[in-house]
Structure 1
Amino acid sequence: MSSTHAIAARTFVLVHGAWHGGWCWRFVADRLTARGHRVFAPSLTGLGDRRHLLAAATSLDVPIADIENLIESEELSDVVLVGHSFGGLVASGVADRRPDALRALVFLDSLLVENGQAAFDVLPASVVKERMDSMTASGQTLGMPVNGLAGTGIPDDHPLADWVRRRLTPHPVATYRTPLTLKHPLGNGLPCTYVHCANPSYETLAAVREHVRALPGWQWEAIDTGHDAMVLAPDLLVEVLERLAG
């Protein structure tokens, strides 16, 4: 790393959200790499460049195993694990199983559940119904269809709107229906920070954020960008991630 950077080189594992893939981290990963960090941004089973494996994403344990196995096969340690949106569930599971490999957890506008809860248990009933209705209408049985840029915070006229739209893929519904199994408290004693993307705020996660504010020992930050911060404000996000990596 260049001597001009006072920040120590870290290892980041970036976990994307629903309908996305590792591709969404491109601008953040490029910047972190240029600043001397090691970065992994895999696509979870059934999504992005692994969308052909939709049928293999049979439960929430599958994407958790994706990241566990990445950590194991690359022999990673002291990892700053970042979970965006749905990826927060994955990061929670990995932290429960492999705390020894982690340095810190960053939940970026994340969906979070407690032990024994599924994603659909904590989302507004109207959102769950809308997603299930869209599956019925599309004839899909395994994946929740893409609903354009809804919820991303990316305006239709944003320069990268079409770039994102082209890459979104159906999300394996099983990962929302199956509960998260935790043997330890959420976060497993690791340094945890929740980063709220506050402009515009993603109201679907309002109840989740309220729950997080009550968790003992967790840090809280708000940043001035929309839900898909990695696309909308990569420079700002890199600055936040470097600071939280310590």
Structure 2
Amino acid sequence: MARFVLVHGGWHGGWCFRWLAEELENRGHHVASPDLPCEEVGLTPLDYAREVGPQPDAIVVGHSLGGFTIPHIEAGARVYLAALPPLERGEIKDCFVEGFGGAVRDIRDRSYWPDADTAAARMYPDCSRPQSDWAFAQLRRQARLDPIPAPFGPRDVVIATLQDAAVDPDWQIRTARTHGARVIELDSGHSPFLTQPDELANILSSLD
């Protein structure tokens, strides 16, 4: 059995992996889902990685903005789930679906979602309303985080989410293939750990 470390994306916390963690544990795997200090201004992906610590025996899964963090974590393997890989900013400038959102900012320049309706429509459109409301109630503010380019390629796995309303699915696949990463396609939105935890757990288990 494998050990998984699940690294969340912007605004979220380890809580978002609740049902995925249960599915993985039911399959006999060990799971950790740490909280990153996303509300703290002035940090870098290296600071986030230090919060997680080295995980040389684990499959480290980074969701969305978590893709900036996982290449800086010592890992047995890395999986990019609907994620932004650690590339130059010019390569990721067109990654988001037009009209995605998350651009409202507070006086400390941290982005946030202003209300549950907006989050449901733009970030969680494939979730049930109870699912999106549950998630929205736990969202935090996200300080700016700039990528630090790092190796990304044949040793990495990309799970591309084909109905994603946040990170463009075609961009996910094209970027992964350009860099030689292995691509696994999942017919889901941006948050399959909420909508398809069983299917996602099956995919991750197959990587063991």
Question: Into which bin does the TM-score normalised by the smaller protein fall?
Answer: 0.7 to 0.9
Contact 1:122 / 1:208 at 8 angstroms: preserved in 2?
no
Pairwise CA RMSD of aligned residues?
2.6
**Cα distance in 2 between the residues matched to 1:59 and 1:141:** 16
**Cα distance in 1 between the residues matched to 2:36 and 2:91:** 17
Aligned length in residues: 202
Structure 2 length-normalised TM: 0.83
Amino-acid identity (%): 24
Greater radius of gyration (CA): 1
Which structure 1 segments of 5+ residues have no match?
A: 1-8, 47-53
Match of 2:64 among 78, 85, 96: 85
SS of the residue corresponding to residue 244 of structure 1 reads: coil
CA separation of 1:64/1:123 partners in 2, compared to 1, >3 Å: closer, same or farther?
A: same
Superposition pairs of residues 44-193 of structure 1, within 5 angstroms: 44-46=36-38, 54-55=39-40, 58-67=43-52, 69=53, 71=54, 76-94=55-73, 98=74, 102-114=75-87, 116-117=88-89, 121-123=93-95, 131-132=102-103, 134-135=104-105, 139-146=106-113, 148-149=119-120, 150-155=122-127, 157-173=128-144, 175=145, 178-182=146-150, 185-187=151-153, 191-193=155-157
Offset, 1:161:
2.0
Structure 1 length-normalised TM: 0.72
Offset, 1:142:
3.9
Structure (1 or 2) with the greater helix fraction: 1
Answering whether residue 42 of structure 2 is matched by residue 29 of structure 1, we say no
Which residue is equivalent to 1:228? 191
Match of 2:179 among 211, 215, 222: 215
Structure (1 or 2) with the greater strand fraction: 2
SS of the residue corresponding to residue 14 of structure 1 reads: strand
Which structure 2 segments of 5+ residues have no match?
A: none
Contact 1:45 / 1:57 at 8 angstroms: preserved in 2?
no
Which residue is equivalent to 1:194? 158
Superposition pairs of residues 231-246 of structure 1, within 5 angstroms: 231-245=194-208
SS of the residue corresponding to residue 160 of structure 1 reads: helix
CA separation of 1:223/1:207 partners in 2, compared to 1, >3 Å: closer, same or farther?
A: closer
